[in-house]
Every structure is written in structure tokens, then in C-alpha cells.
């Protein structure tokens, strides 16, 4: 009996030692040895984090012997290129940067694979990679039916960028906290052509839908209720969209052709006093080589009649089903979203998805956006995560752009959008 107990103890100690040897002996170099010489193709949206990853790539390639080719595409073209490959099953791409609102669509089509087989493989998974450090909201964006289909790549939370120096120079208190204060500040700061009260991203594009959603939520509006009854054209929706239309009176000419890129340039130039914008652009505000507003920008929730409003638009890195290099792709994804790589990229394009980075005091002091992102990350609003959302974006973008261009009334545009979205929801079986 004692001998059996002793043998059991030896076995337990052996298992512990074996586990520790794996946990403490893991290295990217060793994990990548079987895949040295492979070339990965990474298709990504053209964003600040994508530029940072390409800048850091030589260290990954040197450590692993894996070559990575980065292909950047503007948001509308990213899906076009990826879908052509995925539908044909050609396996051109090995790593895919996908918007969280696309997760369900790609999972249901069978185009991306769950990551659990890689996460649970001790030869591939870095035991020091703390997945709980990812913001829960961002991790949730990678999930579908209880499985993870990606690692959060960039935070991308939309809130109000406001120029403190411009506000102070004009004697306007900031930041505005309600829509009334917001509109008042636009009016007071508007001094064209030198300065405009706000920027807008009102092109017929996803950008106008994202910006308008912030305003809709600020007025306590929603696209539909819990029973999928469309409500975007109710009283709150009408008031929100009238407000959004009025914003154009204090925006630069031509904002019906602007996306988030144009807004960013206007903010950097000090041409607009404030604008709703994505947090991943914080670094560009502090870059003296391209920004005239270094040290001036501050960040706050979108002014609201209720709880603080922000809008999550982040993305993840996943592996296409058609990839022939899935294990190597996972090693790249794990490296690209790691604490170390995200931390070293702060100010160089990195838009961290890890809570611990946003809580570093020195970074919160240097980058005021970190305080705003950390505060918003757990409650930020979602776009619908259903496969039919892209079709709804097309309808909304057309109608909202028409409102700002002055070719349709608010009621006409919202009623047309509501009718089309209701038809999409009904046809898809949600109601």
C-alpha cells in the first residue's frame, strides 16, 4: 500500500515537472522550428496597427524563419479580396483581420476556424500569454457559439476628440456632456474658413453609419427592440438624425465625401475643433511630423442624454479555413497581439486590446486617450453582430448621406431605411 502511494507521488511529481518544463521552456523560436521557411500572407485593413505590425515584423521573421507578406486594403475592399479567396478555397491568405461585426457571417459560411485547437496545444500556445488580459468586450467580439475565432487586434473605440487649446482660446468649456452643450460648442467655435465647429464622416460608407449610431444612442435611440421591431425612425431616431443633420452647418464643406481618414487629417491640422473619431488615431495627434495639435487633443464620451456613449469598432486576427499554414499563422497571431508587441507599439500605431497596458500610469499621462478608452471598453456600444448587417449598412449609408447632402428629409430617409431593414430581418427569420 505504501509502495503504491509512493509510486503515485512520484507520478504526480513527474507530471508537475513535465508541465513546468513545457511552461517555462516554451519559446517562439522553438515553437516555430517546424514551420521555418513558410511564407504567410496577412490581409488587413489599412489601419495604424497594421503599419506598426509591419514595422515590427523583422523581429518575428528573424526569430521564426517564417516570412510574412502584409497586404493592406481599405475597409470596403478588404472583404472583397478575402471573400474571393475564401469562397474559391484557394488558400491565398493565412491570417485575416476581420471586423467583430463580421464574426457570425464568416463562421456560418465556414470561412474561419476556431482557435481552441491551437490555444490548447502546448507546443504552439505561449503559457505566459494571459488571454484574460484582453478586455472582455473585445474578446467577446471574437466569439461565436462559445468558441474563439480570433485574438483581439485593435481596440478601435469611437468617442469625442476635442481640442482643449481651441476650446480654451475661444472661452468654451469642454468637454460637452449633453447634445445641447455639444451643439452650443459647435456654434461658438465655428469660424470658417479658418476653423469649423466639428468634423463629420458623412460619405456613403460605413463611416457615416458608425458616426450616426453614436448620435442615435446619445438620444436614447436604437435600431430595433428586443423583438426585432425596427425603431430607428421613432421619435428618438428622428430627433437624433435632425441633430446629426444640423451638425453639418458647422462642419467643413464637402463632408459628404469624408470618411474617418478625412476627419483625422482635419483634427491634426486644427481645422476642426472636435469630432467623433476612433481611438486608434491617438498616436497621430501626438506625432510632430504630421500633427499641428501635439499636446492639445483630449478625449471624452459622445455627449449624451443618458449613460456615456462610445462605439466599439474593433477587429481580430483569425485563420481562414482555406489556409495551408494554420499552425504558423497562429504563432504570428499570438505574437502580433502579445503584451510585449502591443506595448512597444504604443505611439507608433499600436491600438492595444489589453487592459494592463491602458493602466500604466506613465502612458495614461502621456496619452490622455488611454484614460478614455479604459473607461469606455467595458460598456461601449455594439453594431449588430449578425450576418445581415452589411446589407443594412448599405441601406443606411445611402439614406444618411442623402440627409446630409440635402436631397432627402430626415423622415423620408429614416422611413426608407426602416422599411428595408425590417424586410431584411423578416426574410432572415428574426421576426
* pLDDT tens column, 92-140: 999 999 999 999 999 999 999 999 999 999 999 999 999 999 999 999 9
The CATH label, of 2.60.120.260, 3.40.50.720, 3.40.190.10, 3.90.220.20, for the domain at 158-312+388-427 is: 3.40.190.10
Phi, psi of 119 (to 5 degrees): -60, -35
Q: How far is CA 139 from the centre of its chain?
A: 12
pLDDT in tens, 82-95: 999 999 999 999 99
In 10 A of CB 9, how many CB atoms? 10
* Residues sharing a CB contact under 8 Å with residue 215, sequence separation 6 or more, in sequence order: 179, 240, 241, 243, 244, 302
pLDDT in tens, 225-274: 999 999 999 999 999 999 999 999 999 999 999 999 999 999 999 999 99
End-to-end CA distance of the chain: 66
pLDDT in tens, 316-372: 999 999 999 999 999 999 999 999 999 999 999 999 999 999 999 999 999 999 999
Task: Please indicate whether the domains covering 29-156+314-376 and 158-312+388-427 agree at the CATH topology level.
Answer: yes
**What percentage of the chain carries pLDDT values higher than 90?**
92
Residue 378's alpha-carbon distances to 108, 178, 180, 398, in angstroms, are 27, 21, 26, 31
Element (H, E) at 98: strand 95-99
Burial label for 88, CB within 10 Å (0-12, 13-18, 19+), is: exposed
User: CATH fold of 29-156+314-376, please?
Assistant: D-Maltodextrin-Binding Protein; domain 2 (3.40.190)
Residues in the chain, total: 431
pLDDT at 24: 58
Q: How confident is the model at residue 9 (pLDDT cuts 50, 70, 90)?
A: very low
CA distance 8 to 11: 5
**DSSP secondary structure of 204-238:** TTHHHHHHHHHHHHHTT--SB-TT--B-TTSHHHH
Exposure of 226 in the CB half-sphere (CA atoms within 13 A): 0
pLDDT in tens, 262-319: 999 999 999 999 999 999 999 999 999 999 999 999 999 999 999 999 999 999 999 9
pLDDT at 133: 98
CA distance 94 to 68: 10
- Is 7 a residue whose pLDDT tops 70? no
In sequence order, the β-bridge partners of residue 275 are: 161
Q: Are 268 and 290 in contact (CB under 8 A)?
A: yes
Element (H, E) at 159: strand 157-163
Q: Given the C-alpha cell 511529481, which residue does it identify? A: 13
Domain boundaries, the chain: 29-156+314-376, 158-312+388-427
Say whether the peptide bond before residue 175 is cis (omega within 30 degrees of 0).
yes
Amino acid at each position: 500500500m505504501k509502495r503504491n502511494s509512493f509510486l503515485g507521488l512520484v507520478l504526480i511529481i513527474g507530471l508537475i515537472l513535465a508541465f513546468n518544463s513545457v511552461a517555462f521552456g516554451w519559446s517562439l523560436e522553438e515553437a516555430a522550428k517546424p514551420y521555418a521557411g513558410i511564407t504567410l500572407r496577412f490581409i488587413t485593413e489599412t489601419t495604424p496597427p497594421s503599419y506598426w505590425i509591419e514595422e515590427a515584423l523583422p523581429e518575428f521573421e528573424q526569430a521564426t524563419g517564417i516570412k510574412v507578406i502584409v497586404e493592406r486594403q481599405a475597409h470596403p475592399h478588404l472583404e472583397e479580396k478575402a471573400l474571393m479567396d475564401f469562397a474559391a478555397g484557394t488558400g491565398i491568405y493565412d491570417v485575416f483581420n476581420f471586423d467583430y461585426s463580421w464574426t457570425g457571417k464568416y463562421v456560418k459560411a465556414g470561412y474561419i476556424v476556431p482557435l481552441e485547437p491551437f490555444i490548447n496545444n502546448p507546443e504552439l500556445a505561449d503559457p505566459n500569454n494571459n488571454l484574460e488580459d484582453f478586455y472582455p468586450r473585445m474578446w467577446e467580439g471574437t466569439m461565436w457559439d462559445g468558441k474563439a475565432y480570433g485574438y483581439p487586434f485593435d481596440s478601435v473605440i469611437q468617442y469625442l476628440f476635442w481640442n482643449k487649446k481651441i476650446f480654451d482660446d475661444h472661452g468654451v468649456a469642454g468637454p460637452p456632456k449633453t447634445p445641447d452643450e455639444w451643439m452650443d460648442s459647435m456654434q461658438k467655435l465655428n469660424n470658417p474658413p479658418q476653423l469649423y465647429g466639428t468634423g463629420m464622416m458623412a460619405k456613403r460608407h460605413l463611416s457615416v453609419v458608425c458616426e450616426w449610431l453614436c448620435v442615435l444612442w446619445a438620444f436614447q435611440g436604437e435600431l430595433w427592440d428586443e423583438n426585432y421591431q425596427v425603431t430607428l425612425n421613432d421619435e428618438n431616431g428622428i430627433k437624433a438624425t435632425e441633430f446629426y443633420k444640423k451638425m453639418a452647418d458647422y462642419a467643413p464643406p464637402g463632408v459628404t465625401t469624408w470618411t474617418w481618414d478625412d476627419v483625422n487629417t482635419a483634427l491634426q491640422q486644427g481645422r476642426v475643433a472636435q469630432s467623433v473619431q476612433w481611438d486608434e488615431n491617438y498616436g497621430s495627434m501626438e506625432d510632430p511630423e504630421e500633427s499641428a495639435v501635439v499636446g492639445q487633443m483630449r478625449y471624452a464620451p459622445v455627449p449624451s442624454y443618458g449613460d456615456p456613449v462610445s462605439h466599439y469598432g474593433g477587429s481580430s486576427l483569425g485563420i481562414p479555413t482555406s489556409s495551408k499554414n494554420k499552425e504558423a499563422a497562429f504563432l504570428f497571431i499570438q505574437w502580433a497581439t502579445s503584451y510585449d508587441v502591443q506595448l512597444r507599439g504604443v505611439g507608433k500605431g499600436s491600438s492595444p486590446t489589453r487592459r494592463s497596458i491602458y493602466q500604466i500610469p506613465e502612458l495614461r499621462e502621456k496619452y490622455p486617450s488611454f484614460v478614455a478608452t479604459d473607461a469606455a471598453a467595458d460598456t461601449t456600444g455594439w453594431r449588430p453582430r449578425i450576418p445581415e448587417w452589411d446589407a443594412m449598412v448599405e441601406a443606411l449609408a445611402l439614406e444618411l448621406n442623402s440627409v446630409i447632402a440635402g436631397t432627402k428629409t430626415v423622415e423620408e430617409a429614416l422611413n426608407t431605411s426602416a422599411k428595408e431593414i425590417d424586410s431584411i430581418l423578416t426574410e432572415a427569420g428574426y421576426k
